[in-house]
Amino acid sequence: MLYDDLRGIPLLDGLTDEQVAELAASGEEVFFEDGEHLFDEGRPADHWWLLLDGSIDLVRRIGHEDTVLATMQTRGQWAGGLRAWHEHSVYMGSGRANQAGRAFRLAADRLSAHGEEWFPFAVHLLRGLMGTARQIEQNARQREALVALGTLAAGMAHEINNPAAAAVRAVDTLRDSNDDVRDSLHRLAAESVSTSQLVALDELRRELDGAPASTGVALAEREDALSGWLTDHGVDRDWLLAPALAAAGADVGWCERVAATLDGAALQAGFEWVAGAVTTTALISQVQDSVRRISELVAAVKSYSQLDRATVQQVRVTDGLESTLVMLGHKLRAGVTVQREYADDVPAVDASPGELNQVWTNLIDNAIDAMEGTGTLHVRTYADDRAVIVEIADTGPGMTDDVAAHAFEPFFTTKEVGKGTGLGLDISRRIVAERHGGEITVHSRPGDTVVRVRLPRTRPHA
C-alpha cells in the first residue's frame, strides 16, 4: 500500500500515522519507465515528487548540451513542489528517469495546505525566505531593466538628433536660398530678359533634375572645371555657384548652352537663379529625408515598445529583430557589420512581442559588447516543423566551456564591475523557457559564438 511506502521514509518520521495516511490520500503513485520525462525545466513546479523506487536524473540545459545536475536514487529524495511556497516557482531542472521505478506525486496546493495545517510556523518562515529572495532578485532585474532602458533612450536620442539637426540646418539654409532665387529672378526681370529666354533657361534648369550626380574626385574635378569656365566668362561668385551647379549635374557643355541663351548682366543673374533653384530643391530633399528618418525611428520605437499591441499575439520575429537593430543602431556604426539571413517561410508565433524584444536586445547587445565594437553580427531566422529558430552570432573571442556552462545563471557575468549585472541572459532564458515554452542555448568557439532561441509555433499554456 502507498501508506506503507510513505510510512517507511525517514523524511516523514515527524508525521503521525494519521498525517501520513492523509498525505497518501492526497497524492498518487506514479510508475515510470527508463528514459521517461516526468517534468520539464522552466515549467511551473506544481507537483512535489517523492522517490519510492528506481532512479531519476535531474537535468538542466547548460550551454548547448543537457547536464545532469543530480540523481535521485535514494528512497525518500524529492524534487519540485515549490509552488506550495511561492506562486511563480518553476522546476529548476528536468526530471528524466534513468531506471524504471515509482514516485509519489502530490499537487503543490495540497502540499501547501498540509504544511499550513501541520507546521504553520515553518511554512511562514519558508514563504518569507522565498519571498525575500524573490524580492532581491526582482529588484536586481528591475535595475537591469532601467539600465537597459537608459542605454536605449540615450541611443535613440542620438539617432533622432542627427536627422533633426540636419533638418534644422537645411531649413535655415533654405531661407537664404529662397532669398537668392527671388533676388536673381528680380535681376533677370530688370535686364529685360524675354519670355523665350526665360523659358529656355528654365528648360536648361529642368535638365539638371535628371542629371547623374557625381561624388568624390569626379565631383571635385567638375567643380574646378565649372569654376574656371565661370571665371573666364566674367561670372562672379564662382566659388558659390560652381559647387551648387556641379552637385546638380551641370558641366561645361551645359554652361555653354546657358551662355548661348543669355549674355551680359543677364548671364550672371541666370546662373545665380539656376544655382539657387537647384540648391532649394536639394535642401527640400534633405528635409524630406530627415523627416522620413525621424518618422521611421518613431515607428521603430512604437514597434519595439509594442505600446498599442495585445500582450500575446501572432508575432513575426523578424519585425522585432529589425526594430531592435534600429534601437541599437548607435552601437553598430563604429565597426560592426550586420549580416541578415531571414528565411522566407518563417511563420508567426504566439508570443509576447515586448518580452521577445527584450530577449533580442539582451542577445544583440551582448554580441556587440563581446566584439568590442568591431566585427560581424549575424542575425538568422528559420523554422522547422515545430518551432521558429532565431540565431544571434558574433565574431568575438568566444566563451570558454566553463563560462558557457554558467552563462544563463543569474548574476553571472564576465564584464567589468559596473558594466553588467549578470541578469541579461538569465532574463532571456526565463522569457524564452518559462514564458514561451521555448529553449535558448549557446555554442561558442573563438570567432564564432552563436546563441540559438527556439520558440514553439504555438505558445503553451502556463
Domains of the chain: 2-118 (2.60.120.10), 157-296 (no CATH), 309-456 (3.30.565.10)
Distance, in Å, from the CA atom of 248 to the CA atom of 53, rounded to the nearest integer, reads: 86
> Average pLDDT over the chain, rounded to whole?
81
C-alpha cell at 436: 514561451
Which residue matches cell numbers 569654376?
Answer: 227
Closest CA to 421 of 140, 221, 175: 140
The 10s digit of each residue's pLDDT in 267-300 is: 888 988 998 898 888 888 888 888 887 776 676 6
Distance, in Å, from the CA atom of 306 to the CA atom of 453, rounded to the nearest integer, reads: 21
Average pLDDT over residues 209-215: 73
3-state helix, strand, coil in the chain (%, to 5): 55, 20, 25
Grouping H, G, I as helix, E, B as strand and the rest as coil, residue 94 is: strand
Distance, in Å, from the CA atom of 455 to the CA atom of 273, rounded to the nearest integer, reads: 61
Closest CA to 55 of 70, 40, 39: 70
Average pLDDT over residues 327-355: 84
Query: What per-residue confidence (pLDDT) applies to 376?
Result: 92
C-alpha dihedral, 85 to 86 to 91 to 95, nearest 10°: 20
Question: pLDDT above 70 covers what percent of the chain?
Answer: 81
The amino acid at residue 168 is V
Q: Is the pLDDT of residue 382 over 90?
A: yes
**462: pLDDT confidence band, cut at 50, 70 and 90?**
very low
The 10s digit of each residue's pLDDT in 81-109 is: 878 777 777 787 889 998 999 999 999 88
Between CA 10 and CA 19, with CA 14 as vertex, the angle to 5 degrees is: 105
Segment (H or E) for 416: none
Question: Of residues 126 and 354, which shows the higher confidence score?
Answer: 354
The 10s digit of each residue's pLDDT in 102-155 is: 999 999 888 888 888 887 766 666 666 666 666 655 665 566 556 656 666 666
